[in-house]
Structure 1
Amino acid sequence: MEKVIYALWRADGTARDAFVERLHGELVPRLVALGALGAQLNVADAAADGAAPTVQALPTPMDAFVSVWLDSANDALRKPFDAAMAAVCGRYAAWLVTESRPMRNTRYLPVRGERTPGFAQVALFQRPPRIEREAWLDVWLGSHTQIAIDTQDTFLYVQNVVTRALTVDAPAYDAIVEEGFPPEAVGNLHAFYDAVGDDDRFRSNVAAMRASCRRFIDMDKIDVVQTSQYVLMPPRGGVG
């Protein structure tokens, strides 16, 4: 089983609400009909507005992400899914990834097709050329993982290592991270950094997180999008 992450941009002139409605009304049933082994929608909708700061390196921000689990991501077998994406957006990009879940969502168990409480932050970034790939992976997947868990109030943490781009114009990302934050963290950075009512802890957690990120991320090469998460079909063995 392979995991493909699609990024979607809505067509010029398409209102966000209309785009979101189309994703739910057209794309979701199509993914089910195509026989995906798992599917998840993350969309930058009104419910995610202002949840946390966004960061934009690309000239045009992404409007949604679709994760699809398939028996094979080979071009011919993936083609129907590519067509389903193309039918609902102005542009899409796709990456094959290997997924690691250091933290499963056991706090807000997803209900199939319904919005997961809180919000989901999606971060996409490149490996800095100053650090070799193996060292980069060791820092990110090794020491940084626990720092991220310890300094933020996350209930879901997914690290996707990009294996290869599947579309010719896909932005050159090496990593895609998905983090779930509780409703209390919406618009509240103290809650985001697990430091409600504690300014010293807040400052310490922010400093520790930023220092750790700088070890393996060039901050001008990262895109961070706040989204609503919908688990459409949990992948085999997964609960979110």
Structure 2
Amino acid sequence: MEKVVVIVRAANVDEQWCRGIRGPVASALLELGLPGLAVNVRDEPVRDSLMTLTTLDPPGAAVISLWTQQYYGEQIRAAIELLRAEADAVDAYLVTESTPMPPPDAGAGVRTPGLANVALLRRPAELDQATWLHRWHVDHTQVAIDTQATFGYTQNVVVRPLTPEAPAIDGIVEELFPDGAVSDLQVFYGARDEADLQDRATRMIESCIRFGAHENIDTVPTSRYLFRSPFIGT
């Protein structure tokens, strides 16, 4: 089983577009027979999130996770073409997936409660791959869990881009936070008070600096809809 993450970029996104992505488009993707499908889309509940950073133009509007037997097979080619018809740009990446905190299953096509924040990471030129991965996975993972109100945490290491002219991205992080995190940093970090917030934010930023996740990143606030799990057959 292989995982492909597709960044769907669009300049003008409204709620009708979002309903289309998680409705007819998701249904068409399921009809391709993909073993797994999750749709993350920047819809109304999360659109104004404080945790939004953008370097891409046009910005990310949806992040689609596809599980397949062959990343180079017809299913993925058809899925990419289907998504191209809905966007200004579509960038697909083959990834390896780690789940330090597996996201909950809310039921097929049901919105997972909370803010699903997706971060697109770039490895700094001064860090070799092994050092970067160790600092991110081994050193940082527990810090992220300890300092934030995370209840779902998935790390995707990019193996290679699958579409021409895809922007350079080395890692894709999917994290779930309580709904209140959209507008309240104290909720985002799970802090008791302002002093606790400052302590948690400082520890988190210091850890991010060590592997370059404090700059040159995109964060796409989304709602997550799991349509088919490749692991439990839903």
Same-fold status (TM-score > 0.5) = yes
Distance 1:182 1:238, change over 3 A: farther
- Tell me the equivalent position of 2:168: 172
Structure 1 residue 194, shift from structure 2 partner = 1.2
Could you tell me how far apart the structure 1 residues matched to 2:204 and 2:27 are? Answer: 39
- Superposition map of 1:122-201 within 5 A: 122-196=118-192, 198-201=193-196
Could you tell me how far apart the structure 2 residues matched to 1:86 and 1:238 are? Answer: 27
- Superposition map of 1:80-91 within 5 A: 80-91=78-89
Structure 1 residue 95, shift from structure 2 partner = 0.3
- Tell me the equivalent position of 1:203: 198
Could you tell me how far apart the structure 1 residues matched to 2:49 and 2:84 are? Answer: 28
Corresponding residue SS for 1:220: coil
Aligned residues of 1:57 and 1:220 also touching (Cα < 8 A): no
Are positions 1:22 and 2:26 aligned together? no
Corresponding residue SS for 1:50: coil
Gapped regions of structure 1 (runs ≥ 5): none
Aligned residues of 2:114 and 2:179 also touching (Cα < 8 A): yes
Identical-residue share of aligned pairs (%): 38
Could you tell me how far apart the structure 2 residues matched to 1:154 and 1:40 are? Answer: 19
4+ long deviations beyond 3 Å: none
Structure 1 residue 191, shift from structure 2 partner = 1.2
Q: Normalized against structure 1, the TM-score is what? A: 0.92
Gapped regions of structure 2 (runs ≥ 5): none
Could you tell me how far apart the structure 2 residues matched to 1:33 and 1:43 are? Answer: 20
- Tell me the equivalent position of 1:222: 217
Q: Normalized against structure 2, the TM-score is what? A: 0.94
Could you tell me how far apart the structure 2 residues matched to 1:42 and 1:78 are? Answer: 17
Amino acid at match of 1:60: P
Distance 1:65 1:145, change over 3 A: same
- Tell me the equivalent position of 1:236: 231
